[in-house]
């Protein structure tokens, strides 16, 4: 085969897409509307999240998965796409978003970084740390945190046991995998309604992969409960 006849790979080096699942209702947050649109430090939470990824030059584009009837968000930027394909669960929203990325020309070999819209404290430095650790890895991986506290199991409201925590990590996002591999891993769980798939890594694990654990930061927490908003606001105000 001559040089001119050699097939040209779709993109080399592979592109890095971001997928923000942003179609939840935030039932634990106690807000009137979906928590990702609550104003924190002057902006709807999801726009802080988006800004962190837009500050990373290696990111090609961001796809934000919103609920079909969502009228809360409009973003006018050439590298940001709103996809109204949110599903009944986070996993379904991510699965639908992956199909949308592929339909828009992303390649199965491209990387995708999936990140909760509600994790609005992620920083460009943390995103770069994940990219650096994973871009030459055969599987990909996730930001995660070693447990800072003693871990207990419970039975009937009392301690059943103290558990060895030396091999336990708390999963965060972003989680970074090849787009096609993640689509296939989630596809295999679609018939069961994505039961047990609480993050992208768990789908990859069920497909037989062992994602890389990349140390994250305690500040990259997910805004979940009412008290989390004040902490997020304080940290964001302190940064600016």
Ligand X SMILES: C[C@](O)(CO)[C@H](O)COP(=O)(O)O
Residues in the chain: 240
- Take residue 192 and report the two structure tokens written for it: 């069961």
Residue 173 binding: pick among ligand X, ligand CTP, none (C-beta 5-8 Å cut-off by kind): ligand X
- Is 151:92 a contact under the CB 8 Å cutoff? no
SS3 state at 137: coil
Closest to ligand CTP by CB, 110 or 199: 199
Of 54, 89, 128, 219, which lies in the binding site for ligand CTP, with binding defined by CB under 6 A?
Answer: 89
Angstrom distance (rounded) from CA 202 to CA 69: 29
* Alpha helices in the chain, H assignment, sequence order: 45-54, 90-103, 124-134, 179-190, 200-206, 228-239
Closest to ligand CTP by CB, 14 or 93: 93
Residue 120 found at the interface with ligand CTP (CB under 6 A): no
Of 19, 59, 117, 182, which lies in the binding site for ligand CTP, with binding defined by CB under 6 A?
Answer: 117
Name the minimum Å distance from CB 119 to ligand CTP.
7
Q: What is the DSSP-derived secondary structure letter of residue 187? A: H
> What does the binding site for ligand X look like in residue numbers (CB under 6 A)?
90, 116, 171-173, 198-199, 222
Closest to ligand CTP by CB, 21 or 211: 21
Residues 29-48 that bind ligand CTP (CB under 6 A): 29, 36
Residue 189 found at the interface with ligand CTP (CB under 6 A): no
Name the minimum Å distance from CB 146 to ligand CTP.
21
- Is 23:93 a contact under the CB 8 Å cutoff? yes
Residue 27 found at the interface with ligand CTP (CB under 6 A): yes
Closest to ligand X by CB, 99 or 222: 222
Q: Residues binding ligand CTP: what is the number (CB under 6 A)?
A: 22
- Vertex 91 angle, CA 87 and 95, to 5°: 75
Q: E strands of the chain, at which residues?
A: 16-21, 39-40, 43-44, 59-65, 80-83, 111-114, 140-146, 151-155, 158-163, 169-178, 212-215
- Residues that bind ligand CTP in the complex, under the rule CB under 6 A: 21-29, 36, 65, 86-90, 93, 116-118, 222, 224
């Amino acid at each position: 085969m001559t040089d001119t006849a050699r097939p040209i790979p779709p993109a080399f080096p592979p592109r890095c897409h971001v997928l923000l699942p942003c179609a939840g209702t935030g039932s634990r947050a106690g807000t009137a509307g979906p928590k990702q649109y609550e104003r924190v430090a002057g902006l709807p939470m999801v726009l802080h999240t988006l800004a962190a990824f837009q500050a990373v030059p290696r990111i090609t584009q961001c796809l934000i998965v919103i609920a079909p009837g969502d009228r809360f968000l409009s973003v006018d930027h050439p590298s940001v796409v709103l996809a109204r394909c949110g599903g009944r669960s986070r996993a379904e929203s991510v699965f639908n978003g992956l199909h949308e990325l592929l339909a828009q020309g992303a390649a199965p070999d491209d990387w995708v970084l999936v990140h909760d819209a509600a994790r609005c404290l992620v920083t460009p430095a943390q995103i770069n740390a994940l990219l650096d650790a994973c871009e030459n890895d055969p599987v990909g991986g996730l930001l995660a945190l070693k447990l800072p506290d003693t871990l207990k199991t419970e039975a009937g409201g009392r301690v059943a046991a103290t558990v060895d925590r030396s091999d336990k990590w708390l999963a965060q996002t972003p989680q970074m995998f090849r787009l096609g591999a993640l689509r296939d891993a989630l596809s295999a769980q679609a018939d069961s309604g994505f039961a047990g798939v609480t993050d992208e890594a768990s789908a990859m694990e069920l497909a037989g992969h062992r994602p890389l654990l990349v140390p994250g930061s305690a500040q990259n927490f997910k805004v979940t409960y009412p008290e989390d908003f004040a902490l997020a606001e304080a940290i964001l105000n302190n940064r600016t």
